Every structure is written in C-alpha cells, then in structure tokens.
Amino acid sequence: AQTVTQSQPEMSVQEAETVTLSCTYDTSESDYYLFWYKQPPSRQMILVIRQEAYKQQNATENRFSVNFQKAAKSFSLKISDSQLGDAAMYFCAYRSARYGGSQGNLIFGKGTKLSVKP
Amino acid sequence: NAGVTQTPKFQVLKTGQSMTLQCAQDMNHNSMYWYRQDPGMGLRLIYYSASEGTTDKGEVPNGYNVSRLNKREFSLRLESAAPSQTSVYFCASSVQLYEQYFGPGTRLTVT
C-alpha cells in the first residue's frame, strides 16, 4: 500500500522569505500523480499544485513550485515571497494513475502547519 | 458555479442518533468521495463512488453508509452515531484521474 509522509508538523517563515515543505512517499508504481493542498483556517481544501510522475519538469504555479525527485520518492513544495495569506495547513497527497477500485483515491500525509510572521 | 456544496456546516448529535450529510457538485464529475479529518491524522477516505450507481468502501467505512443518488449527489449516513465519529467530514469530486475538488466541510460533534 502507498504511504505519504510529511516529517515537519510545523514550519515558520518570515513574510517575503522562501520556505520549503517536505514530503516523501512510498509506492511500487511507476505512474502516479502528486498534489499539494492548502487548508486555511476556513477549513476549505484548496489545490495548490499538481505533478504527474511521468513528467521530468517540476510543476510551478506562480509563487509555488515543487522539487520532484522520482528516484528518491520526494516531493517538496517551495513557497517564494511568502505572504500572510499563505499561513495554513499544507497536505501532500498521492494518487495512482491506474483507475479502478480504490486505486484512484487520494492518500494524504498528516500535514504541515505553516505560520507566516509579519 | 457553486462547485461542491455540503450541508449542514455544523451538527451536534447525541450518541445513538442518526443523521445524513448531504453533498452535491455541479461540475459534472463522475467520481465522488467522503473523507473524515481528525486532528493529527490527515484526511482518511470513508467511502467513494467511482461513477453513478457504484459505491465502494475506503479506509474507514465502519459505522457509515452512503448513497449515490444521481451524478450530482452523494450522501453519507450515520445510522447510530458514536463519540468516535466526532470529526470534520469532507465531500470531494473529481473527473477520474484528475485532482479532487473539496466541499467546505461539516463539523460533527457526537456527545
């Protein structure tokens, strides 16, 4: 079974600085998707970024980028120019590329709480 | 576009009471999901529906039932609520392999 591990329960960053959140995963599959979701105090789960395992290029979305290391099974999220609105829980998630049964479901890590200091 | 909507937003139940959490999506997605989120545990899948007319158990299905009423709606029922079911419940939907979109959540307390 696949697992997702976020080893940093809490992180803190100064406004305008850069922070990197770590995520590792375990799978025997070669094709899959990885996601980062943000959950602010409102509780709403918001998709931040998506990475397809077959793509070598790291995904980027404005100030958010990932460092995807397939061999190391590592998927870290870098937030540049941190803003107060970035303060939230961040969840890393894995999804198999096979579709059928439970294989298409998301497997979440336990989250990292990010604080942004003004 | 409302996306994924859930009702109610908050609910308090006594042990043994029953209730149904409602979820609807207007994105024409095939797949729908129910998760629970507990402190320090991340999100865990309760049940999912890969397509209209099908439902399957996830990681933590005990004590719950689901109904995929039509393509838009997917409800979660607690037949006899227990304090261990105190949690925040999220509904989500997706188009097959793509990302899941989440509703705002329901905070349920069972006393």
What pLDDT digit, counting tens, does each position of A27-53 carry?
Answer: 999 889 999 999 998 889 999 999 999
Strand partners, A77: A21, A66
Please, which residues have CB within 8 angstroms of residue A71's CB and are 6 or more apart in sequence? none
Rounded to an integer, the average pLDDT of A91-114 is 83
Phi, psi of A102 (to 5 degrees): -90, 5
Query: According to DSSP H, which parts of A1-118 are helical?
Result: none
pLDDT at B55: 93
Rounded to an integer, the average pLDDT of A9-20 is 97
**Cβ atoms A53, A35 nearer than 8 A:** no
Q: Would an 8 Å CB–CB cutoff place A110 in contact with chain B?
A: yes
A45 contacts on B by Cβ (under 8 Å): 43, 90, 92, 102
> How far is the C-alpha of B53 from the C-alpha of A6, rounded, in Å?
35
> How far is the C-alpha of B49 from the C-alpha of A6, rounded, in Å?
28
For residue B98, what is the nearest residue in chain A, using CA coordinates?
A: A33
CB pairs under 8 A between A and B: 56
> How far is the C-alpha of A40 from the C-alpha of A79, rounded, in Å?
15
Nearest to A75 by CA among A34, A110, A45: A34
Answer whether B90 sits within 8 Å of A45, measured CB to CB: yes
The confidence band for B82, taking pLDDT boundaries of 50, 70 and 90, is very high
B31 contacts on A by Cβ (under 8 Å): 104
In the chain, the amino acid numbered A112 is T
Scan for tokens 């305008």, then name that residue: A16
